[in-house]
Amino acid sequence: MNPAPHPPGKARPGGRTARTREAVLTAVFDELAESGFGALTMEGIAQRSGIHLATIYRRWRNIEGLVCDLLTDVSSTSVPLADTGTLDGDLRALAHSLQTLYEAARVRGLLDAVVSAAARQPEAAGILRDFFDARLQLAGAMVGRAIDRGEIPDDTDPVAVISGLAAPFYYRLLIARRPVDRALADSAALAVRAGVEAGAYRTGGGPWGSD
Protein backbone atom coordinates (compact mmCIF):
# COMPACT_ATOMS: atom_id res chain seq x y z
CA MET A 1 0.00 0.00 0.00
CA ASN A 2 1.27 3.48 -0.78
CA PRO A 3 1.78 5.70 2.26
CA ALA A 4 -0.74 8.48 2.83
CA PRO A 5 0.65 11.96 2.25
CA HIS A 6 1.61 13.90 5.33
CA PRO A 7 -1.07 16.40 6.31
CA PRO A 8 0.04 20.00 6.66
CA GLY A 9 2.05 20.62 9.78
CA LYS A 10 3.85 17.29 9.89
CA ALA A 11 7.63 17.05 9.80
CA ARG A 12 8.24 20.27 7.91
CA PRO A 13 11.32 22.38 8.67
CA GLY A 14 11.09 26.13 9.04
CA GLY A 15 10.88 29.05 11.42
CA ARG A 16 7.99 30.72 13.18
CA THR A 17 6.18 31.69 9.99
CA ALA A 18 6.35 28.13 8.69
CA ARG A 19 5.11 26.73 11.99
CA THR A 20 2.21 29.17 11.99
CA ARG A 21 1.21 28.13 8.48
CA GLU A 22 1.46 24.44 9.37
CA ALA A 23 -0.68 24.86 12.48
CA VAL A 24 -3.36 26.80 10.63
CA LEU A 25 -3.52 24.49 7.61
CA THR A 26 -3.64 21.43 9.82
CA ALA A 27 -6.58 22.99 11.64
CA VAL A 28 -8.33 23.66 8.33
CA PHE A 29 -7.73 20.06 7.22
CA ASP A 30 -9.11 18.71 10.50
CA GLU A 31 -12.16 20.98 10.42
CA LEU A 32 -12.96 20.01 6.84
CA ALA A 33 -12.66 16.32 7.69
CA GLU A 34 -15.00 16.68 10.66
CA SER A 35 -17.56 19.25 9.56
CA GLY A 36 -17.22 20.12 5.86
CA PHE A 37 -16.63 23.36 4.01
CA GLY A 38 -19.83 25.07 5.10
CA ALA A 39 -18.90 24.89 8.78
CA LEU A 40 -15.47 26.51 8.39
CA THR A 41 -15.01 29.83 10.19
CA MET A 42 -11.97 31.95 10.80
CA GLU A 43 -12.78 31.94 14.52
CA GLY A 44 -12.97 28.16 14.60
CA ILE A 45 -9.63 27.83 12.81
CA ALA A 46 -8.03 30.28 15.23
CA GLN A 47 -9.32 28.35 18.23
CA ARG A 48 -8.27 24.99 16.86
CA SER A 49 -4.83 26.07 15.68
CA GLY A 50 -3.94 28.26 18.66
CA ILE A 51 -3.00 31.05 16.27
CA HIS A 52 -4.34 34.55 16.90
CA LEU A 53 -7.35 35.45 14.76
CA ALA A 54 -5.77 38.70 13.58
CA THR A 55 -2.74 36.79 12.30
CA ILE A 56 -4.96 34.46 10.28
CA TYR A 57 -6.92 37.35 8.78
CA ARG A 58 -3.74 39.22 7.95
CA ARG A 59 -2.17 36.31 6.10
CA TRP A 60 -5.15 34.56 4.48
CA ARG A 61 -7.91 37.22 4.54
CA ASN A 62 -10.80 34.73 4.36
CA ILE A 63 -11.86 31.06 4.38
CA GLU A 64 -11.41 30.82 0.62
CA GLY A 65 -7.77 31.84 0.95
CA LEU A 66 -7.22 29.23 3.64
CA VAL A 67 -8.72 26.38 1.62
CA CYS A 68 -6.88 27.41 -1.54
CA ASP A 69 -3.60 27.38 0.39
CA LEU A 70 -4.45 23.96 1.84
CA LEU A 71 -5.23 22.52 -1.59
CA THR A 72 -1.96 23.89 -2.93
CA ASP A 73 -0.01 22.59 0.06
CA VAL A 74 -1.42 19.06 -0.14
CA SER A 75 -0.99 18.87 -3.91
CA SER A 76 2.49 20.35 -4.10
CA THR A 77 3.90 18.11 -1.36
CA SER A 78 2.14 14.92 -2.49
CA VAL A 79 2.27 15.26 -6.29
CA PRO A 80 5.88 16.00 -7.23
CA LEU A 81 6.38 16.80 -10.89
CA ALA A 82 9.01 14.36 -12.11
CA ASP A 83 11.51 14.98 -14.88
CA THR A 84 12.36 11.48 -16.08
CA GLY A 85 13.70 12.53 -19.47
CA THR A 86 10.74 11.18 -21.45
CA LEU A 87 7.08 12.11 -21.73
CA ASP A 88 6.12 8.47 -21.12
CA GLY A 89 8.01 8.45 -17.85
CA ASP A 90 6.72 11.85 -16.74
CA LEU A 91 3.09 10.94 -17.42
CA ARG A 92 3.38 7.66 -15.55
CA ALA A 93 5.08 9.35 -12.60
CA LEU A 94 2.37 12.01 -12.42
CA ALA A 95 -0.40 9.40 -12.66
CA HIS A 96 1.15 7.32 -9.88
CA SER A 97 1.49 10.43 -7.69
CA LEU A 98 -2.19 11.24 -8.21
CA GLN A 99 -3.04 7.66 -7.27
CA THR A 100 -1.05 7.94 -4.05
CA LEU A 101 -2.61 11.30 -3.22
CA TYR A 102 -6.19 10.14 -3.62
CA GLU A 103 -5.71 6.86 -1.80
CA ALA A 104 -5.66 8.94 1.40
CA ALA A 105 -9.16 9.23 2.88
CA ARG A 106 -8.52 12.73 4.26
CA VAL A 107 -7.53 14.02 0.84
CA ARG A 108 -10.61 12.47 -0.75
CA GLY A 109 -12.63 14.19 1.95
CA LEU A 110 -10.96 17.52 1.17
CA LEU A 111 -11.75 17.14 -2.52
CA ASP A 112 -15.33 16.10 -1.79
CA ALA A 113 -15.86 19.05 0.54
CA VAL A 114 -14.60 21.65 -1.90
CA VAL A 115 -16.37 20.17 -4.94
CA SER A 116 -19.62 19.95 -3.00
CA ALA A 117 -19.27 23.53 -1.83
CA ALA A 118 -18.39 24.70 -5.36
CA ALA A 119 -21.79 23.50 -6.59
CA ARG A 120 -23.49 25.91 -4.17
CA GLN A 121 -21.06 28.71 -3.40
CA PRO A 122 -19.39 30.94 -6.02
CA GLU A 123 -16.42 31.53 -3.69
CA ALA A 124 -15.72 27.81 -3.42
CA ALA A 125 -16.13 27.42 -7.18
CA GLY A 126 -13.52 30.12 -7.64
CA ILE A 127 -11.12 28.32 -5.29
CA LEU A 128 -11.47 25.09 -7.22
CA ARG A 129 -11.12 26.73 -10.63
CA ASP A 130 -8.07 28.79 -9.65
CA PHE A 131 -6.41 25.81 -8.00
CA PHE A 132 -6.82 23.49 -10.98
CA ASP A 133 -5.85 26.20 -13.46
CA ALA A 134 -2.60 26.75 -11.57
CA ARG A 135 -1.81 23.05 -11.21
CA LEU A 136 -2.57 22.34 -14.89
CA GLN A 137 -0.23 25.11 -15.95
CA LEU A 138 2.49 23.87 -13.62
CA ALA A 139 2.19 20.21 -14.64
CA GLY A 140 2.04 21.26 -18.28
CA ALA A 141 5.76 22.00 -18.07
CA MET A 142 6.44 18.30 -18.67
CA VAL A 143 4.69 18.60 -22.03
CA GLY A 144 6.76 21.66 -22.82
CA ARG A 145 9.93 19.69 -22.11
CA ALA A 146 8.76 16.93 -24.44
CA ILE A 147 8.19 19.53 -27.17
CA ASP A 148 11.68 20.93 -26.59
CA ARG A 149 13.15 17.43 -26.90
CA GLY A 150 11.33 16.90 -30.19
CA GLU A 151 9.26 14.01 -28.83
CA ILE A 152 5.91 15.51 -29.78
CA PRO A 153 4.58 18.21 -32.14
CA ASP A 154 5.17 21.85 -31.28
CA ASP A 155 1.43 22.63 -31.18
CA THR A 156 0.59 20.01 -28.53
CA ASP A 157 -1.56 21.68 -25.87
CA PRO A 158 0.03 21.09 -22.42
CA VAL A 159 -3.13 21.89 -20.46
CA ALA A 160 -5.23 19.53 -22.59
CA VAL A 161 -2.73 16.71 -22.10
CA ILE A 162 -2.64 17.06 -18.31
CA SER A 163 -6.42 17.47 -18.18
CA GLY A 164 -6.78 14.23 -20.11
CA LEU A 165 -4.49 12.44 -17.67
CA ALA A 166 -6.32 13.71 -14.58
CA ALA A 167 -9.89 13.28 -15.84
CA PRO A 168 -10.19 9.51 -15.17
CA PHE A 169 -9.21 10.06 -11.54
CA TYR A 170 -11.94 12.63 -10.95
CA TYR A 171 -14.54 10.56 -12.78
CA ARG A 172 -13.67 7.56 -10.61
CA LEU A 173 -13.68 9.58 -7.37
CA LEU A 174 -16.53 12.02 -7.88
CA ILE A 175 -18.92 10.29 -10.31
CA ALA A 176 -18.40 6.52 -10.00
CA ARG A 177 -17.53 6.95 -6.29
CA ARG A 178 -14.94 4.20 -6.39
CA PRO A 179 -11.32 4.13 -5.21
CA VAL A 180 -8.39 4.78 -7.49
CA ASP A 181 -5.70 2.17 -8.01
CA ARG A 182 -2.50 1.45 -9.92
CA ALA A 183 -4.38 -0.01 -12.88
CA LEU A 184 -6.25 3.28 -13.32
CA ALA A 185 -3.02 5.28 -13.10
CA ASP A 186 -1.29 3.10 -15.69
CA SER A 187 -4.22 3.12 -18.10
CA ALA A 188 -4.65 6.90 -17.82
CA ALA A 189 -0.98 7.50 -18.64
CA LEU A 190 -1.05 5.02 -21.52
CA ALA A 191 -4.25 6.43 -23.01
CA VAL A 192 -3.05 10.02 -22.89
CA ARG A 193 0.31 9.13 -24.40
CA ALA A 194 -1.51 7.33 -27.23
CA GLY A 195 -3.69 10.40 -27.70
CA VAL A 196 -0.64 12.63 -27.93
CA GLU A 197 0.89 10.27 -30.49
CA ALA A 198 -2.34 10.38 -32.53
CA GLY A 199 -2.43 14.19 -32.45
CA ALA A 200 -5.57 14.40 -30.34
CA TYR A 201 -4.20 17.25 -28.21
CA ARG A 202 -2.86 19.51 -30.95
CA THR A 203 -4.09 23.10 -30.96
CA GLY A 204 -4.42 23.07 -34.74
CA GLY A 205 -7.53 20.90 -34.55
CA GLY A 206 -6.09 17.44 -33.97
CA PRO A 207 -5.17 14.81 -36.53
CA TRP A 208 -8.15 15.72 -38.76
CA GLY A 209 -7.27 19.40 -39.14
CA SER A 210 -9.07 22.51 -37.98
CA ASP A 211 -12.23 22.22 -40.09
Is residue 74 in a domain?
no
Q: What is the pLDDT of residue 112?
A: 83
- pLDDT for the residue 148: 96
Per-residue model confidence as pLDDT tens for the chain (211 residues): 333 444 444 444 468 889 999 999 999 999 988 888 888 999 999 999 999 999 999 999 888 888 888 887 887 777 878 899 999 999 999 999 999 999 988 888 888 878 887 888 787 788 888 888 888 988 999 999 999 999 999 999 999 999 999 999 999 999 999 999 999 999 999 999 999 999 999 997 555 444 4
Do residues 57 and 76 touch, judged by C-beta distance below 8 A? no
CATH number at residue 51: 1.10.10.60
Does residue 109 lie within any of the structural domains?
yes
pLDDT at 76: 75
Tell me the residue range of the domain where 124 lies. Answer: 80-203
Both 92 and 191 in a single domain? yes
Residues 180 and 106 in one domain: yes
**What CATH number is given to the structural domain containing 104?**
1.10.357.10
Q: Is residue 102 part of a domain?
A: yes
Same domain, 116 and 56: no
Is the same domain home to 98 and 158? yes
Provide the pLDDT for residue 6: 46
User: Do the domain assignments include residue 3?
Assistant: no
What's the pLDDT at 9? 42
pLDDT score for 71: 82
Are 84 and 15 in contact by the 8 Å Cβ rule? The answer is no
32 & 123 share domain: no
- Does residue 120 share a domain with residue 54? no
The pTM (predicted TM-score) of the whole model is 0.78
Alpha carbon separation from 49 to 2, 38, 53, 58, 110 (Å, rounded)? 29, 18, 10, 15, 18
* Pair 166, 94 in one domain: yes
Q: Are residues 52 and 89 in the same domain?
A: no
Domain count, the chain: 2
Residue 43: what residue type? E
